[in-house]
């Protein structure tokens, strides 16, 4: 008997207010953390010096290159040197402090250290000289990242810190992400247990107003549902996460050292103390209480830590001797404790810090869509990782071990604010993708073995002739298992797993070559199915991408997509059996799709409650109608492109991966006349639109579904005219009547938006 061939298909889980709040009401919820001793001077301005290094987990270089310090022609950065140097410097003087953030780097370094060095680090952590803040695997993005991935990467780092040091980070340190989400505030802030969150990047206009109102520091109630029960003290820096001008002490920078040897000609203590006091007074004038924070560090600093600490030691000594202000080594936790003790009242903020702009023509919204393929790759494996961990738990880790661990590091790194954001260099993004692919391949092997255990009659991991295979390249219609099995005598079993906590009914699509197939569920009942012919565009793209991804020349593309509806219990699975039909396809409740030739001016599609109408003449969308809700909406869709700004004499800011900046011209429509192909069937209707040689779109409407599935392929974008193009799709509809709309927040919330001025195209 031929071995059954099984395929796993995973249903992926996919404003400054006028009121004020007393400091830390319900924000300080880390009750188990002892108070950090604070050495401050009452009645004086206390300047908290927070030594730090911002170490991107990949950006201009890969994460490995940053750690070991290679590829110095790009950037002279070596995180390994920073950690070595900081530990040596802290061990020299118990007054010194430093904060460590990215665990992706620290854990590599820790694993290499001898027991002697590890013992020194333990003492530094226990004494409070070395403090872990944020504590995630990386400093994650807050716009393009999903909230489950935010939780997972933070949990990974915190788990290691707890295991090695029995410590829990008290402060959030999101200093570099390009704007900040409300979900970050309440879910990854107050509900996680942080007492405060600190960052640098907020809109330049917002910062100016908050400085004038002394409102940079707020009580942030990111959730209107949870309100004051889930709020956090939030500190936005006055400028950036670097020190005030003149107080950068990185050894290779053009620094002004503090020289207190009177026998030398460059003795400058009085001058440097005066500069320090002036900078401190300027900052206290834009904030509240007599405590201010100086972020003493920048990107990949402290590679020779003694340069920083020697100068800060000297500054603290002479500033405190001068007596006008008081300087001290500090951390965000110490600073927050001092703010808490002041009994000050703070402004309350309810929404998020988006969008972020650092100047007039520099709105950092380009990264919302930069590198969309990588964004999708991260999101797909986010759902797969969640499902795999559940399967790992269900089968029992004692049976197979922790087989999902190979993906946790790659997924954690991918949430970095220069990774999923799409703002890293291409070779770095390639490295992120490679890590995900390698990690996922190991997890796939574990999942396949686990399913053998779970689906066996006695639920044990015994040897079996059953062979499980998975198809991670279904998005390019590549699945040799189903293509070969459906045209041979082998039976094909599709196992569908649902990681959600409720029953799920969704449509499954697998590529096949036989038009005479039947689908049955586990009790032998025939399941209605439909064959959809694979279009030429998909066939051509498949050849290109299979060669690019796998380095092989694939056989010709499959003939059909086999579509059927699967119902799966919560956190469970169902099996579906695909085999040759004994009679005609329709006798097995399998139906071939029909290509429709439009005979009227308008053609309506949709086998379910949602209908969409298209113009037969122009091929454009005209109308959407939902028979359940009664919504009847005239709507048009177009693809257009803006000319990318290259900057000008007045403002050199160009459009790019971070910033979306058109050059001011009216956008150009890709095409007004669209090639249209309509495919009908009992389960799904498809509309294929060819907008141009480089823009192709498929819209699917399913039976019993009230949403449309839109799949578009864009590119290569033509640039032979030497014009950079920002491609958009525009949905034009009379939906917004009161200038109010809602946007997604990390896949967890919707935030209400109010437009300052009516928009001609509110859905653009």
The answer to whether 430 is a known catalytic residue is no
Residue 8: which residues within 8 A CB-CB, separation 6 or more?
447, 448, 451, 468, 470, 495, 496, 497
* 197 bridge partner residues: 172, 234
What gap in Å lies between CA 70 and CA 425, rounded to an integer? 16
What gap in Å lies between CA 143 and CA 417, rounded to an integer? 9
The three-class DSSP label of residue 245 is coil
The three-class DSSP label of residue 405 is helix
* Distance from the Cα of residue 154 to its chain's centroid: 12
Helices (H) and strands (E) in the chain, counts: 16, 34
Q: Which candidate, 144, 547, 173, places its Cα nearest to that of 372?
A: 144
The three state secondary structure string of 430-489 is: HHHHHHHHHHHHHHHHHHHHHHHHHHCCCCCCCCCCCEEEECCCHHHCCCHHHHHHCCCC
Contact (Cβ atoms closer than 8 angstroms) between residue 316 and residue 327? yes
Distances in Å between the Cα of 259 and the Cα atoms of 277, 279, 444 are 17, 19, 60
Angle CA(179)–CA(180)–CA(185) in degrees, nearest 5?
A: 170
State whether the Cα torsion 329-332-335-337 is positive or negative: negative
Q: Which candidate, 465, 461, 458, places its Cα nearest to that of 397?
A: 461
**Which residue in 55, 56, 152, 176 is the catalytic one?**
176
Contact (Cβ atoms closer than 8 angstroms) between residue 40 and residue 328? yes
> What is the token pair recorded at 710?
């839109």
Contact (Cβ atoms closer than 8 angstroms) between residue 432 and residue 418? no
> What is the token pair recorded at 280?
């401190």
Active site residues: 176
């Amino acid at each position: 008997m031929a071995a059954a061939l099984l395929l796993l298909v995973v249903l992926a889980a996919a404003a400054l207010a006028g009121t004020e709040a007393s400091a830390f009401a319900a924000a300080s919820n880390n009750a188990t953390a002892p108070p950090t001793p604070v050495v401050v001077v009452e009645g004086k301005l206390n300047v908290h010096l927070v030594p730090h290094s911002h170490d991107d987990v990949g950006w201009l270089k890969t994460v490995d290159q940053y750690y070991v310090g290679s590829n110095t022609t790009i950037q002279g950065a070596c995180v390994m040197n920073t950690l070595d140097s900081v530990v040596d410097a802290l061990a020299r003087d118990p007054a010194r402090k430093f904060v460590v953030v990215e665990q992706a780097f620290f854990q590599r370094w820790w694993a290499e250290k001898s027991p002697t060095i590890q013992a020194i680090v333990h003492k530094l952590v226990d004494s409070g000289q070395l403090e872990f803040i944020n504590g995630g695997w990386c400093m994650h993005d807050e716009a393009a990242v999903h909230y489950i991935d935010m939780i997972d990467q933070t949990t990974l780092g915190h788990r290691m810190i707890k295991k090695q040091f029995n410590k829990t980070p008290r402060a959030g340190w999101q200093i570099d992400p390009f704007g900040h989400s409300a979900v970050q505030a309440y879910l990854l802030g107050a509900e996680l247990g942080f007492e405060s969150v600190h960052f640098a990047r907020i809109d330049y206009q917002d910062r100016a107003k908050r400085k004038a109102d002394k409102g940079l520091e707020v009580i942030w109630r990111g959730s209107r549902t949870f309100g004051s029960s889930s709020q956090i003290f939030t500190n936005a820096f006055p400028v950036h996460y670097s020190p005030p001008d003149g107080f950068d002490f990185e050894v290779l920078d053009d620094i002004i050292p503090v020289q207190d040897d009177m026998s030398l000609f460059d003795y400058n203590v009085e001058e440097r103390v005066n500069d320090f006091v002036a900078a401190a007074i300027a900052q206290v004038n834009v904030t509240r209480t007599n405590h201010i924070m100086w972020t003493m560090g920048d990107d990949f600093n402290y590679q020779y830590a003694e340069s920083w600490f020697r100068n800060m030691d000297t500054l603290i000594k002479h500033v405190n001797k001068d007596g006008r202000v008081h300087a001290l080594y500090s951390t965000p936790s110490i600073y927050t404790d001092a703010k808490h003790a002041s009994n000050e009242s703070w402004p309350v903020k309810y929404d998020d810090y988006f969008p972020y702009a650092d100047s007039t023509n520099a709105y950092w919204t380009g990264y919302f869509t930069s590198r969309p393929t990588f964004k999708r790759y991260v999101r797909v494996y986010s759902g797969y990782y969640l499902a795999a961990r559940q399967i790992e738990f269900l089968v029992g880790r004692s049976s197979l071990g922790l087989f999902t661990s190979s993906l946790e590091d790659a997924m954690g790194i991918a949430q970095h604010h220069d990774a999923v954001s799409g703002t890293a260099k291409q070779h770095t993004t390639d490295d992120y993708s490679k890590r995900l692919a390698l990690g996922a391949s190991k997890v796939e092997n574990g999942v396949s073995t686990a399913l053998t255990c779970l689906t066996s009659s006695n639920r044990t991991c015994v040897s079996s002739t059953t062979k499980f295979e998975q198809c991670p390249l279904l998005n390019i219609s590549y699945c040799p298992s189903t293509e070969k099995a459906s045209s041979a005598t082998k039976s094909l079993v599709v196992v569908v797993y649902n990681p959600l906590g409720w029953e799920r009914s969704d449509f499954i699509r697998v590529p096949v070559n036989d038009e005479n197939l039947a689908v049955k569920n586990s009790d032998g009942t025939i399941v209605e199915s439909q064959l959809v012919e694979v279009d030429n565009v998909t066939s051509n793209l498949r050849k290109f991408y299979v060669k690019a991804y796998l380095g092989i020349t694939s056989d010709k593309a499959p003939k059909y997509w086999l579509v059927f509806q699967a119902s799966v219990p919560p956190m469970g699975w169902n099996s579906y059996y695909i085999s040759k039909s004994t009679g005609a396809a329709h006798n097995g409740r399998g139906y071939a799709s029909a290509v429709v030739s439009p005979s009227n001016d308008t053609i309506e599609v949709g086998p379910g409650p949602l209908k969409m109408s298209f113009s037969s003449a122009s091929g454009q969308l005209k109308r959407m109608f939902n028979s359940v809700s009664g919504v009847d909406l005239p709507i048009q869709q177009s693809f257009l492109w803006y000319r990318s700004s290259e900057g000008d004499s007045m403002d050199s800011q160009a459009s790019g991966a971070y910033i979306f900046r058109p050059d001011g011209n009216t956008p150009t429509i890709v095409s007004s006349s669209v090639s249209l192909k309509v495919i009908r069937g009992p389960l799904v209707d498809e509309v294929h639109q060819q907008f141009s040689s480089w823009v192709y779109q498929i819209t699917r409407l399913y039976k019993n579904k009230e949403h449309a599935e839109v799949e578009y392929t864009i590119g290569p974008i033509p640039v032979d005219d030497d014009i950079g193009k920002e491609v958009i799709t525009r949905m034009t509809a009379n939906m917004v009547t009161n200038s109010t709309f809602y946007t997604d927040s990390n896949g967890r919330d919707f935030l209400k938006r109010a437009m300052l001025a009516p928009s001609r195209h509110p859905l653009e």
